[in-house]
Amino acid sequence: MNIQSAATAAARAQTGVLATNKVIRNTYMLLSMTLLFSALAAGTSMALNLPHPGILLTLGGYFGLLFLTSKFRDSTLGLAFVFALTGFMGYTLGPILNAYLSLPNGGQVVMNALGATGAIFLGLSGYALTSRKDFSFMGGFLMVGILVAFLAGLGALFFEMPGLSLAVSAMFVLLMAGLILYQTSEIIHGGETNYIMATVTLYVSIFNLFTSLLHLLGVLGGDD
């Protein structure tokens, strides 16, 4: 390799590093904003004591807004749909939190779930960012696992099977932990270059991790 080729390769590598750093910075900035907005929506829903929209409307709203976010991922309109999606999910979380807070030790359960979610996310994200390990091999397993857990969760809900519901929550804790590692790795290694979609994936991971831990801790605490 001559000097010119080496210089060109070095310049391309530097450009790639800068692009990756930009995606990381934009992703975590947008994630912070969406988490705050979602928390505000949840707080408003709790304060107004709004009813839960139900499983069908929740799934319709989630998948509809997720589709629109993906469709407009490369435009500013995509940002609007990101906040619409996270705000909607925050609204659906409000009635769930009110239900737990009405229990004798519900406040402790909520705080424990929140603390555990934060610790898991920060720990796994920090590990992926510092170790720079490639977790792309987990993609297929996570996709299949999430689909199976989702269908099992619907079955547990419609057929009223609390044991299966508890198992599904445990599955989601593990799957969301894996998804955090996978998505962070994808950002680092250039597998995901769109910060809007990276933000959505990480937000959904955090949301599902929190609600699953809430369910598990509530049962272990004798509240379900």
Q: What is the pLDDT of residue 56?
A: 92
Q: How many whole angstroms separate alpha carbon 187 and alpha carbon 198?
A: 7
Q: Would the pLDDT of 222 be above 90?
A: no
Assign residue 34 a region (left: φ > 0; alpha: ψ between -120 and 50; beta: otherwise).
Answer: alpha
139-157 per-position pLDDT tens digit: 999 999 999 999 999 999 8
Q: What is the mean pLDDT of residues 23-42?
A: 96
Q: Would the pLDDT of 223 be above 60?
A: no
85-124 per-position pLDDT tens digit: 999 999 999 999 999 999 989 999 999 999 999 999 999 9
Nearest to 27 by CA among 152, 196, 176: 196
Nearest to 94 by CA among 58, 65, 56, 59: 58
Residues recorded for the chain: 224
Average pLDDT of the residues of the chain: 91
In the structure encoding, which two tokens stand for residue 62, read together? 């989630």
167-218 per-position pLDDT tens digit: 999 999 999 999 999 999 999 998 899 999 999 999 999 999 999 999 999 9
Q: What is the pLDDT of residue 2?
A: 60
